[in-house]
Amino acid sequence: MESTNLQPPYDLIPLFERRLEVAKNVCQRFKLSKNELLEWQQAQRRNIIKETGNNSVYYNRLWSETFPDMSIEEIAELPHDNLPFTTRQDLIDNYPFGMIASPIKDIVRYGESTGTTGNSISASYTADDWIENNVTVVNHLSSVITKEDVVAVAVPYELAGVGQDLDRALEIVGATTIAVGALTRFCPPERVLDILHRTEATVLVCSATRALFLAGLARERKLDPLSNFKLRAILCVGEGMSDAKRKKVQAAWDVEVYSMYGMTETNTLAMFCSSGHLHLTETKALFEIIDPVTSDILPDGEAGELVVSTLTTHGLPMVRYRTGDLCTILPADCDCGLNTRRLVHHGRLTDTISVDGIELRMLDIDQLILSSIPGFYYGLYIQDATLYIALVPPENQNADVRKALIKAMQDKYGITPKVVGIRKECVTDIVRNALKPSIKNILVNEADILDLAAVS
Amino acid sequence: MEYYEDALTIARGLDIYEVLPVESFEGGVGRVVRQSIESSDFYRQFLSGLDLDSIAFTDLPFTTTNDIRSMAPAHMRTTFRNEVVRYAESTGSTTSQPTTGCATRHDWLENTFTLIQSLGQVLTPDDCVMIAVPYSLTYVGADMDRACEMIGCRVIAGGVNPNVCSWERMVHLIMRQQVSTIITSPSRLLRLAELARELGYKLAVNSCLKTAILVGEPVHQEKLRILSELWGCKILTTYGMTEATSVAAPCREGRMHLCENRFYSEILQADGCINNSDGARGELVLTSLTVQGHPLVRYRTGDLVTTDRSLCACGLPFFSITHHGRVSDELSIDGKYLRLEDIENSILQLSPSYCSPFIRFGGWNNTLHIHLSPTTHKTTVSCRERLTEHFRVSHNVEVIVTAVKREHIIKLMDRYLKPGKVTLITQEEMSTCE
């Protein structure tokens, strides 16, 4: 067939020339010395403050109200800790586009928090923001993932950026990517196992809680996670993870476990390295740790709330954004050679339970319980100032495990829990049906609590 | 950055006006097909014993879905095994052996870039696009998402996972974000219109939708008309499959062009003959021309299409197709074969406008059973008379029309993995209900 009315083809070359340029800039930053990186951060911080003042309705108002007598150039020169914080409430109040600093037509991705309750917060990325983040992730991923890997991505692709971002980064690395998704009717956990098995997947991306659930489910289906699968690494995302849980995941699948950390509104904030540490993405953001009560800045090594200021984001730049996460920043000192500092994530600040007036961090309890029991399923229930630790068979029948658990709780917190029984399905069903299985899923219902002897 | 350099090379080399390398089919099966066969464990085995130097392309046996399914793991093991960047499975059955596909970086980028040549006629960076198709397992979500993002549209990855983005949330997003284009299945678009009404929106006032690009299910003439009227927007269709990524894509003129830079096509008629003339109607048979990861040689898609080889005003040199559904999409009633497309078109055309577009039908006991949800008893009587008369005259089959509550059909749709599946009633389902 001949055509006499040829339309010029859609020109993709400028698009990819721009993408290549952004990618090269990102890669260049990974090669900077520590001092060069600090210099770049300070210069970029000033640029971004000016950009927010000029282009973001929200920040323009914030700067005018906070520093009425100063120009945006003068504000940009202020010490960083003189600037006010941005909070999640600010994002809620300015949903969906009140904070963006680019014209809407320059936004190529719009995302929202995936929580089903409460108010949504939005995220907007320009093409450059998106490529910047993809390539940042690639620089970390490629220390562990190669073209030979077959990677199953079992996190949500809808609304939030995590699945989309990882998927693209894996594609750029050249690994075979399988978009499994999370809690979809198309791909229930049984099918996830089938896919891991038949594709001989070498890497799984999911939350640590889901990884443990899948290992348990495999055993129920007479598949041995250690011999029937080819997994060599699990990349954990979506929840803070206790060291004990990390060890359980490692042991359950006989794999290396790596962590990633980020949020919808900021995209990736920390990624693993070849040595297994979690490094802050200081090539695209500034990080501080503050006392969540006094807001005082804390030195490296002390736990507090993580505060992030984006340095390369033009869609939704954020200045001193309080993440609501309890973290510790450690010096860069790492065998992998990266100059960026390391992060330890202790979970959300709100991930606590109160027992008889004592605040317990859920990840600490998780560490304590998982260090004391052979398996990985348990539940917690609190009533009348008593903490009930519900164990599934056969652990509930093991007097030594119960004794060790009670002693550990007494030694660490001075409280004596009651150890009770629970049917395994009561725990596993919660994880199976959770979009983002996490530490919060250990809280079980009163009706599920049984006498030790009642569950066998 | 190897990836971006590769992308630039592919973008520079993409020539959508290179329709069919005719010389590739000369001398036995030709260079292109020979490459596919020799790079694939599956095809080497499937076609073993044939002399590729002497056998004509048209004498090669057809490949079917069952062939691919039965050899799924081996099919992946091509020369390009280590180049594969995407693996996909059909979303349909969660129990039986799925249809699988895989793509190398070259395949994947070329696929996306070809799709952009079509979507780029329809979308601009000013568009906000809601992608309401699956992102899990299959290619379609990733494929459409990347194409729209590269065009510069504001992409919202709505997906079809109600645990993340419920139907209600999606309706609110469409309205609040002033979504101008939605990519979804016809039945989902119909359901979203109904839900928007329930949530108090007036589509004519609150919706900014200009274009709906339908995918995943065949959509026939009358449903197209209804969807276009309901949303007040232009309806386009696109067509692809797990085995082949995107096969045909829409243009600004409303036609759907087969990606001839990537596939050679044949139209297989019911009598077993190939008819590649303009207007031919038959089963689409695909041979991939540039695909490395999952090559196809004379692959019977199982889909019934009609070709239109006239020049299109959009300028794309590829011929266009109309997709009529699966070849097997028919009911056998009292010895007559009725295509689902014809039944649906007739019902929607003959139902008065005050009858809901949510319809169901099936054939058993030598009778066509139709479930409608009219608003009044009088409407039921009127519909019954018209449909009975129509199917008696046109097909000589008896019809039983039953009035059902529209809420009943909608509830069923919400329960199905693919809401469009609800249209067909099976006898087993009816006996279970009874």
Chain B residues inside the 8 Å CB shell of A102:
none
Contact B355, B372 (CB under 8 A): yes
Mean pLDDT value of segment B197-206? 94
Whether A428 shows a pLDDT value over 70: the answer reads yes
Mean per-residue pLDDT of chain B? 89
Instruction: Supply A162's token pair.
Output: 């995590």
- Report the pLDDT value the prediction gives residue B76, as an integer from 0 to 100: 57
Q: Bin B47: left if φ > 0, else alpha if -120 < ψ < 50, else beta.
A: alpha
Query: Are B94 and A13 within 8 A, CB to CB?
Result: no
Looking at the partner chain, which of A6, A105, A150 has a beta carbon nearest the beta carbon of B125? A105
* Nearest chain B residue to A17, by CA: B8
* Angle between the N-to-C axes of helices A127-141 and A162-173, in degrees from 0 to 180, rounded to the nearest 10: 60
* Separation of CA A287 from chain center: 16
CA B267 to chain centre: 17
Structure confidence by residue, pLDDT tens digits, B130-171: 999 999 999 999 999 999 999 999 999 999 988 889 999 999
- In the structure encoding, which two tokens stand for residue B270, read together? 């019911």
Query: How many angstroms separate the CA atoms of B248 and B169, rounded?
Result: 30
Strand order in the sheet with B398-403: B360-364, B367-372, B398-403
**pLDDT at residue number B24:** 57
| Of B377 and B142, more confident | B142
Cα A430 from chain centre: 20
**What is the pLDDT confidence band of residue A1, given thresholds at 50, 70 and 90?**
very low
pLDDT of residue A314: 97
Judging contacts by C-beta atoms under 8 Å, the chain B residues touching residue A105 are 125-126, 152, 154
Asked whether B187 and B422 are in contact (CB, 8 A), the reply is yes
Percent of chain B with pLDDT over 90: 65
Mean pLDDT of B173-177: 96
Supply the DSSP string of A280-319, one letter for each residue.
E-TTTEEEEEE-TTT--EE-TTSEEEEEEEESS-SSS--S
DSSP string, A144-209: T--TT-EEEE-S--SSSSHHHHHHHHHHHHTPEEEE--SS-SSS-HHHHHHHHHHTT--EEEE-HH
Gap between the Cα atoms of A40 and A48, Å rounded: 12
What's the pLDDT tens digit per position in A445-456?
A: 888 888 777 776
The structure tokens listed for B111 are 């696929």
Q: How far apart are CA B166 and CA B168, in angstroms?
A: 5
pLDDT above 60: residue A323 = yes
Task: Provide mean pLDDT across the span B341-367.
Answer: 86
The confidence band for A4, taking pLDDT boundaries of 50, 70 and 90, is very low
Rounded to whole angstroms, the Cα distance separating A78 from A277 reads 33
Query: A18 at the B interface (CB within 8 A)?
Result: no
- Cβ separation of B177 and A104 shorter than 8 Å? no
Chain-chain contact of B165 with A159 (C-beta, under 8 angstroms): yes
Q: Which of A7, A116, A191 is the closest to B315 by Cβ?
A: A7
Beta strand B245-250 pairing with B154-157:
unpaired
Contact map slice: B 126-165 vs A, CB within 8 A: 126, 128, 134-138, 141-142, 145, 149-161, 163-165
For residue range B22-69, what is the model confidence (pLDDT) as tens digits? Answer: 455 655 667 788 888 888 888 988 999 999 888 889 899 999 988 888
| Neighboring chain B residues of A104 at a CB cutoff of 8 Å | 154
Task: Say if B49 is an interface residue toward chain A (CB within 8 Å).
Answer: no
Nearest CA in chain A to B131: A158
Mutate to test the interface with B, among A176, A187, A433 (most CBs of B within 10 A): A176
Helix (H) or strand (E) segment spanning residue A426: helix A424-432
Length of chain A: 456
**How distant is the Cα of B101 from the closest Cα of chain A, in angstroms?**
11
Beta strands A203-206; A150-153: pairing state: parallel
Residue A117 contacts B, CB cutoff 8 Å: no
**Which tokens hold the place of B352?**
């008065």
Contact: B116, A179; criterion CB under 8 Å: no
Instruction: Kindly provide the ipTM of the predicted complex, given to two decimals.
Output: 0.94
**Residue count of chain B:** 434
A23–B4: do the CB atoms touch at under 8 Å?
yes
Q: What's the average model confidence in pLDDT over B81-109?
A: 84
Percent of chain A with pLDDT over 90: 84
Mean pLDDT for the stretch of residues A400-406: 92
pLDDT at position B434 over 90: no
Say if residue B369's pLDDT is above 70: yes
Encode pLDDT of B213-271 as tens digits.
Answer: 999 999 999 999 999 999 999 999 999 999 999 999 999 999 999 999 999 999 999 99
More reliable by pLDDT, B250 or A427: B250
Mutation to test the B interface, candidates A12, A97, A183, A431, most B Cβ within 10 Å? A12
Chain A hits for B264, CB-CB cut-off 8 Å, are none
Q: What percent of chain B has pLDDT over 70?
A: 91
Residue type for position B72: A
The sign of the CA dihedral A190, A191, A196, A197 is: positive
Which candidate, A205, A216, A212, places its Cα nearest to that of A182?
Answer: A205
Rounded CA separation B58/A87 (Å): 67
For A250, residues 6+ apart whose C-beta sits below 8 A from its C-beta are: A256, A257
Per-residue pLDDT tens for A47-71?
Answer: 999 999 999 999 999 999 999 999 9
pLDDT in tens, A126-138: 999 999 999 999 9
CB contact under 8 A, A172 and B87: no
Return phi, psi of residue A311, to 5°. Answer: -115, -15
**Nearest to B250, CA basis, from B126, B416, B120:** B120
Encoded tokens for B217: 């299910």
Q: How far is CA B290 from the centre of its chain?
A: 22
Alpha-carbon Rg of chain A, whole angstroms?
24
Yes or no: say if A123 and A92 are a contact pair by the CB < 8 Å rule.
no
Q: How many Cβ pairs within 8 Å bridge chains A and B?
A: 194
The reply to whether B279 touches chain A by the CB within 8 Å rule is no
Task: Compute the nearest-CA separation of A138 from chain B (Å).
Answer: 10
* CA–CA distance, B257 with B319 (Å, rounded to integer): 6
Using the beta-carbon criterion (under 8 Å), do B311 and A150 form an inter-chain contact? no
Percentage of residues of chain A with pLDDT beyond 70: 97
Give residue A388's pLDDT.
Answer: 94
- B165 closest CB neighbour out of A158, A182, A183: A158
